[in-house]
Amino acid sequence: MFSVQGKRVLVTSSTEGIGRGVAEAFAFHGATVTISSRSKDKLTKALNEIRRVNPSVYGIESDMTNQDSLHFLVSYAKEVMGGIDILVVNTGNPPREPITFSDTDLRDWEYSIRLYLLSAVTLSKLVLSDMVSRKWGRIFFLSSWTVREPQSILVLADVSRSPLLQLTKILSKDYGRQGITINTILMGSFPTEGATRTLSRYAESKGIPFEKIWKERVLDPIAVGRIGNVRADLGSLLLFLSTDMGSYITGTSILVDGGTSSSVG
Ligand SMILES: NC(=O)c1ccc[n+]([C@@H]2O[C@H](COP(=O)([O-])OP(=O)(O)OC[C@H]3O[C@@H](n4cnc5c(N)ncnc54)[C@H](OP(=O)(O)O)[C@@H]3O)[C@@H](O)[C@H]2O)c1
């Protein structure tokens, strides 16, 4: 039903956490996948583990905040896979998050805007012309439900990635007739190293036990009463949208948050 067999997928920031789970979802369903992140050790480990299931997985070190590195990443992915049919833009987190506005400085903002916004702009530019020539493509920007309900301690991320909603809409209009769909995915809570790290820092700064914060800020707001599973809950949506069954869904933002968001907009 969800065949992505033979599709060539670039998933960025994908040696751990959400990106890793998404890369696995595609790889385990027969796609050819390129993964990336900054650390060579993480890359080697992830490649070894994913290749046990699907040998058609490639990887290269790349920093989402560095434009040259993004150009190199796309060249590499095109070379090893022969092209890119599906782009999944995932990122890490600003190093000083969680942080409130008054504690941020210009360097935090520059990093965050390069990380979330400029990376998505550059990667989209680099993949779209080939997608147009093939008259098929998928672009996903992985974002968060918190862009609809911004959180004080996530000010860097929420403000920096909100414009991707506008970019999603504009690109969907520009490229819809070329067989290319563009969507933003508003993710809820998934159990990752990054989520644990961010929440631990927050708990420490407030002098509150991690378990209490985890329950009150993460678990309790989830309507379905459980944390998400990246491959099953997020991966399956991306697989569906990557087939021709998903070809009528574009220019939108889709919540995958177990009902966390209270927004109706
Ligand atoms: N987890 C959640 O519940 C949740 C919910 C909503 C949204 N999100 C968003 O989803 C994204 C991923 O979160 P996560 O929880 O999966 O994080 P994570 O567990 O920390 O994983 C981040 C991955 O990205 C890589 N990375 C970090 N900074 C990078 C950079 N500058 N360039 C390239 N790769 C980089 C890391 O590897 P290296 O260190 O080797 O680079 C790692 O592979 C974040 O933007 C987060 O805000 C997460």
Query: Is 80 exceeded by the pLDDT of residue 1?
Result: no
Whose CA is closest to 120, among 165, 177, 53? Answer: 165
187 CB near ligand 1 (under 6 Å): yes
189 CB near ligand 1 (under 6 Å): yes
112 CB near ligand 1 (under 6 Å): no
CB 41 within 8 A of CB 118: no
Using CB atoms within 10 Å of the CB of residue 225, give its burial: 0 to 12 exposed, 13 to 18 middle, 19+ buried: exposed
> Among the atoms of ligand 1, which is closest to the Cα of residue 39?
40
For the chain, the average pLDDT equals: 97
Please give the C-alpha separations between residue 57 and each of 7, 60, 79, 174, in angstroms, as whole numbers. Answer: 12, 11, 13, 31
Domain count of the fold of the chain: 1
Residue 172 lies in a domain: yes
Q: How confident is the model at residue 103 (pLDDT cuts 50, 70, 90)?
A: very high
d(CA 251, CA 182): 6
Residue 210 lies in a domain: no
Average pLDDT over residues 117-134: 98
Q: Whose CA is nearest to atom 42 of ligand 1?
A: 16
> Among the atoms of ligand 1, which is closest to the Cα of residue 14?
43
Q: Whose CA is nearest to atom 22 of ligand 1?
A: 92
Q: How far is the CA of 37 from the centre of ligand 1 (A)?
A: 9
Whose CA is closest to 78, among 28, 129, 39, 29? Answer: 129
Residue 76 lies in a domain: yes
pLDDT in tens, 113-124: 999 999 999 999
Q: How far is the CA of 192 from the centre of ligand 1 (A)?
A: 8
CB 89 within 8 A of CB 120: yes
Q: Whose CA is nearest to atom 27 of ligand 1?
A: 92
Which residue range(s) make up the domain with 52? 8-191+228-256
Residue 126 lies in a domain: yes
- 135 φ, ψ (degrees, to nearest 5): 60, 35
257 CB near ligand 1 (under 6 Å): no
Whose CA is closest to 138, among 11, 14, 1, 231? Answer: 11
Beta bridge partners of 187: 144, 256
Looking up residue 180, the CATH number of its domain turns out to be 3.40.50.720
Query: Is 60 exceeded by the pLDDT of residue 79?
Result: yes
Residue 214 lies in a domain: no
Neighbours of 1 (CB within 10 A): 6
Residue 265 confidence (pLDDT)? 75
d(CA 216, CA 115): 29
Q: How far is the CA of 112 from the centre of ligand 1 (A)?
A: 12
pLDDT in tens, 16-68: 999 999 999 999 999 999 999 999 999 999 999 999 999 999 999 999 999 99
Residue 221 lies in a domain: no
Residue 171 lies in a domain: yes
Whose CA is closest to 146, among 165, 122, 118? Answer: 165
pLDDT in tens, 174-232: 999 999 999 999 999 999 999 999 999 999 999 999 999 999 999 999 999 999 999 99
Residue 2 confidence (pLDDT)? 63
Residue 203 lies in a domain: no
49 CB near ligand 1 (under 6 Å): no
Q: How far is CA 156 from the centre of its chain?
A: 16
